[in-house]
Chains A and B, each alone.
Chain A
Amino acid sequence: MGPTTTNPWLIALINMTIVFAVLAALGGIMNVIKMVDPTQKKSAKPAVAPAAAPRAAAPAPAKKSDAEVMAVIAAAVAAYGYSSSQIACVRRLSAAGWSQNARIEAISARKECF
């Protein structure tokens, strides 16, 4: 079967519309998947109401690890020729930030392009 039309403007217009429509529909489907996702509700709950007991147990090891992290940061800054007194503030990023940085690193490491 031959082409349905050979008018270049019509081909461009119809195909561009199809691309937009299909991808927009895909976006709608993603929203539906998010809405019906049973795991999303479960994962949201603990963030709202964390159990009291684990929270009480947490601070001691966290403080220790913070001190270690601070020492590592101060050493890293010193290794670059700066004084640790120049560190104005050290702020812990959220867990998502760390994993996001790891993903950014993974993407940046890929050399090929397809």
Chain B
Amino acid sequence: MDAFIVALQAIWNDSGFAAFTMGNAIMIIVGCVLLYLALGKGFEPLLLSPIAFGCLLANIPKTGFETDPGVMQVILFGIHNEIFPPLIFLGVGAMTDFGPLIANPKTLLLGAAAQAGVFISLLGAMFLGFTVQEAAAIGIIGGADGPTAIYLAAKMAPNLLGAIAVAAYSYMSLVPLIQPPIMKMFTTEADRKIVMEQLRPVTKFEKIVFPVVTTIVISLLLPPVTALIGMLMLGNLFKEAGCLDRLSDTAQNALMNTVTIMLATGTGLTMNAESFLNYQTILIIFLGLVAFAAGTAAGVIFGQIMKTMSGGKINPLIGSAGVSAVPMAARVSQIVGQKANPSNFLLMHAMGPNVAGVIGTAVAAGAMLAMIGPVAK
């Protein structure tokens, strides 16, 4: 009988229940809520569901994910050593059409203006007591670019990685709710009705030379983000070359899906109760919202300036797409514009600042890495 009780005790002591904390229980509930939002409400299900499931896994005690060799450690290695974000960028590049941007390069400035959200939330984070590296990583949430946010957080604030990634992806899925009121606040009905001229056709030569030249120029200027920009442009070269369809297909589909599973699950694995359940997480969630709102407002305000300078030829609504969140933010510009004028098609025009925002966020990340430097590991 004693042996039976000892055996039961040993099983209990080895089980997760013995080390299960209230924090773990709260985080499992958080994971279930995220799972419900992803599957039940359709908020970014492809990303949010593996993040939520990773959160569940991270809060099971005694799994040994952090210490024992295995698939989870491979995934966490990919997260902590910035392996997955550049691979995601390869797929994003293969799915991105830079044509609207090449056809109207002025929209690059809208992508730059929308990065104001990054620096406004950086200011806020520093005033709230975060270190300069942590503030930079929090600020990049405003870039609305998940892989770049994870890339920068892993380098500059690995302790905040989970909160930053969740804030970035959560707000990206909420772009259709966050942006329209801000867009309407800074535009009149007449502004929203502006019909833009059709974009000029872009030649294959331009589409092939663009990724090559962009990689060389930005990488020489900001080497810390060469992995991101290089992979983004390599993926785009696969798409545009015309003779690399197999590579383009793999980057867009098989590789993208595989890496998305690893990146999103790995992000969820960083959401353990010890590092997530604290006051800083609440501040990060708040600062992320500020960053998104400020970026959207800055994009629309710069759109107003460009509208005035162009003699009313530019619809300021496309400025909000400069916050990245490809292609959701561009679709929001289209939807808000079409509500004012049902015959208006702003989507292709908004794709210019939208993809410019991706480059702009990577440039902002590179500039901050160069100026502030990564945290010592």
Stretch of B28-36, B112-120, B183-191, B282-290 with 4 or more beta carbons under 8 angstroms from chain A = B112-120
Indicate if the CB atoms of B359 and A23 lie closer than 8 Å: yes
**SS of A interface (majority):** helix
Contact present for B44 and A112 (CB under 8 Å): yes
A4 at the binding interface (Cβ < 8 Å):
yes
**Is the CB–CB distance between A19 and B367 below 8 Å?**
yes
A103-B328 in contact (CB<8A): no
The 8 A CB mask of A1-42 against B (1 = contact, 0 = none) is 111111011011011101110111111111101100111100
* Residues 96 to 131 of chain B near chain A (Cβ within 8 Å): 97, 99, 101-102, 105-106, 108-109, 111-113, 115-116, 118-120, 122-123, 126-127
Q: Contacts A15-B367, A19-B364, A23-B363 given: A30-B102 contact, CB under 8 Å?
A: yes
Which chain B residues (338-363) contact chain A, with CB distance < 8 Å?
A: 345, 347-348, 351, 356, 359-360, 363
CB B88 to nearest CB in A, in angstroms, measures 6
Contacts of B82 in A (CB 8 A): none
- B362 CB to closest chain A CB (Å) equals 10
A26 to B348, CA, bound (A): 20
Q: Are A114 and B127 in contact (CB under 8 A)?
A: no
Partner of A8, one of B109, B116, B126: B126
Closest A residue by C-beta to B207: A33
A26 touches B123 (CB 8 A): no
Contact A37 B203 (CB under 8 A): yes
Shortest CB-to-CB span from A9 to chain B, Å, is 7
Cα-based distance from A19 to B359 in the complex (angstroms)? 9
A96 touches B198 (CB 8 A): yes
Q: How far is the CB of B286 from chain A (nearest CB, A)?
A: 17
Which chain B residues lie closer than 8 Å to A6 at the CB level?
Answer: 126, 132
Q: How many residues of A contact B (CB 8 A)?
A: 45
| CB-CB nearest in chain B for A22 | B363
| Cα A18 to Cα B221 with chains together (Å) | 10
Whether B328 lies near A22 (C-beta < 8 A) is no
- Tell me the B residues contacting A by CB distance below 8 Å: 44-47, 88, 92, 95, 97, 99, 101-102, 105-106, 108-109, 111-113, 115-116, 118-120, 122-123, 126-127, 132-133, 135-136, 145-147, 172-173, 175, 198-199, 201, 203-206, 209-210, 213-214, 217-218, 221-222, 260, 325-328, 330-331, 345, 347-348, 351, 356, 359-360, 363-364, 367-368, 371-373
A contact set with B: CB distance below 8 Å: 1-6, 8-9, 11-12, 14-16, 18-20, 22-31, 33-34, 37-40, 43, 96-97, 100, 103-104, 107-108, 110-114
Beyond the given pairs A3-B372, A26-B217, A111-B45, 9 more chain A to chain B contacts, judged by CB atoms under 8 angstroms and listed by A's residue number, are A4-B372, A12-B122, A12-B123, A19-B115, A22-B218, A22-B221, A23-B363, A27-B106, A113-B172
